[in-house]
Structure 1
């Protein structure tokens, strides 16, 4: 990929966060976004990790400071909303939702978090890129994709060589060897919550920033 000549700012994408607040803070400090940049968050902000509430606090504040930002819905946000609205409680709890509830410490979900969740986008498209959480069903344009596929699809998308004529940037499926950076596909879930890294990519240049998981604190033993 060639370096961008325009001064309009970077087009950045961030992979799945899953409650990893400290990694998110460190990553954004390294990337140092400016008001001219546009940051697209690919979804899965909650569940499994240690501080889903803190991540949503951070993202709500980030949206206020950087209004050009785009926040996509992940399947875990969909399950969280189903839980909150009483449609399906089991799926959320069976997929890491208990960690999300514990991060709120028994308190009610703040109104700004609810508004944030209710206003997440299913996809974002630019002249050269399509951003989605999970992927897309081959043969269909973004506007004809089902919400289920945009949030959950895996093998039908991953095993297909179909081209949408743009680079498709996605998360959802953890990449074991760092970000996947191909001409027509970029996979940016690098397994932060599984002890690997959280990644941000300047999709127009291919430059990536990755923050490793914090090492678990070792217990100290006093010798008498």
Structure 2
């Protein structure tokens, strides 16, 4: 039996400053650090004592700080992987959210969505984001470990889950798995049929103070 615990980092400075996240290297706020501690304790309570645990994290500061709290309770060292980063918003990263909102070109309802140009110079397409997250997850899942923890971002979570259920990238143009900041998504594969389950999506911990994102916004991944 394999269980993958996917953590979306809690509140970071770009959330409270109202600027675009993406590859902008923001830090956790004090509330975000407290939430990271709560996440780590929750994971420690869920993983059996003595179980083998591996920890992987995006290399941005907000995810790396979250992973440090998890690493501390499990006594492991996080493997940093830039492929687990949030979507890059190019020149919009670190700018006011309103700057991106005025320029953002939403994808069409039908037609090409994965390679769609969103109108911001240097921004990744969904296809580019998906390919790197899928590649990171392929490498993680090649490792025979019963409990793996992946610390990433809200926008990247969609493709972590899509890769888990082996959705072809070319079919992922309409997929969106939404989870709040500071949440845990649990994925499990049984060792008989090798079926892959999405056990829970975006659970928040009791002490998490970071669940503030407007999930109704089409640009909410830019805030993660």
Shorter-chain TM-score tier: 0.3 to 0.5
TM-score by length of 2: 0.35
Relative contact order: is structure 1 or structure 2 higher (C-alpha 8 Å, sep ≥ 6)? Answer: 2
Question: Which structure has the bigger radius of gyration?
Answer: 1
Higher helix proportion: 2
